[in-house]
Each structure stands twice: as C-alpha cells, then as structure tokens.
Amino acid sequence: DAGITQSPRHKVTETGTPVTLRCHQTENHRYMYWYRQDPGHGLRLIHYSYGVKDTDKGEVSDGYSVSRSKTEDFLLTLESATSSQTSVYFCAISLGGQGDSPLHFGNGTRLTVT
Amino acid sequence: DAKTTQPTSMDCAEGRAANLPCNHSTISGNEYVYWYRQIHSQGPQYIIHGLKNNETNEMASLIITEDRKSSTLILPHATLRDTAVYYCIVRPYGNNRLAFGKGNQVVVIP
C-alpha cells in the first residue's frame, strides 16, 4: 500500500455533467499524476503536478483540468463529461527526480459516462 | 511512441523461474529501465528498476545487457498470483512521467 486513496472508486454520470475525482496521499510525495486506461491504449498521462499549485499537461489533457491546493490532494475535474471519458482513472505519486524515483499507483476510479 | 518491445503474451510454469524479455535498443545512457505489472482491475504495481547494473529485490531480478539494449525481468519462482500484464518502460531523461506501452500478458500455468 503506497498510501494512496482514490475516491470515488466507481461513478456513473450523465453526459454534460461535471465530475471531480480525488486522489489523496499520506506519503508527502512531491509529484502526483493522473492517468487513464482504456482497452487498446494502455495507460495514458492526463495531467501531473510537481508541487502545490504547479501542474502540467500530459498527452491526453483535453477536456480535463486539475488542481492541487495542498500536497496531499490532487483533483481531476471533467468540466462537462462526455462518453469518450468513460475510462478507469489511476492516480500515482512519486518523490520526483531525474529518473530514479518509482511511481506508485492507486487502485483506480471506474468512471462511466452515459 | 513506445521505446520498448515486449512479447504480447507468454505462459510460464508455476514454481519455475519466469524470464520476461524486453528490447529497448534506442535507450539513452541516462535512461532507467522500469518494470511494472498490473493484475486485473488493480493499479499498476512497481516491481524494480535499474540503470546499467543488475538489480534484485524481494519481488524479482532485473538483468540488463552490457550494451543496455535489452533487459530481462526474472520472477524466481512463479506463482499463480504472478499472472498479470507486465510493462517494461524506459524513463526519459529529465522526465518524471512514465509512458506505458501495451505490455506482456503473462499467465502462470499450474
């Protein structure tokens, strides 16, 4: 257990509604990440954060925003959910650094947009 | 684009060593090789990583060739619980992100 809690674990929502997923860590790690996983695409990075209020885009950031107001929480928001955002979302944390710091993942949030 | 090549799938016998290959012929001198696995419906689990020396931990061993163009993850005594998708990843220099490919579906057979 890497001290990561994702909430909710499952959510069903309707197209056009806003949705916020939460990632909470107890490890005080600097870096936090949001990935999505879809059949045929593997894991793809949405956004990541390298500190409080410091965030950057990943490869599939369109339609998503993030916020990190404190070290332990990283929020992923879908402003207006679409069916293409139906996916499993994983949060990850790491200490950071140039390449010698593993990422540790949460158990995911399964989001269905109807 | 994926920087690693792995088999799409492989079977391993329970109780035997499982050797999982990975090619990363374009790896740069300061890029690390990481291994993760994902058991169905769970988040990816970190296994091991290395730069150029062989590494061992409680889960596995990582053997990196001298030219660093390929590596092998060794699970010393495979169990049914080792059935998972295994990802070999090269971590870009100066980049704190991991790019996952499609992985290798490993099935441990009794």
* Contact call for residues A109 and A6 (beta carbons, < 8 A): yes
* Contact call for residues A19 and A10 (beta carbons, < 8 A): no
pLDDT in tens, B70-109: 999 999 999 999 999 999 999 876 676 778 888 999 999 9
- The whole-angstrom distance between residue A33's C-alpha and the CA centroid of its chain comes to 6
B2 or A65, which is more confident: A65
pLDDT in tens, B17-56: 999 999 999 998 888 899 999 998 899 999 999 999 899 9
pLDDT in tens, A14-57: 999 999 999 999 988 889 999 999 987 888 999 999 899 999 99
Q: What distance in Å separates the CA atoms of residue A13 and residue B77, rounded to the nearest whole number? A: 44
Q: Does A39 touch chain B (CB under 8 A)?
A: no
Pick from B32, B42, B97: CB nearest A33: B97
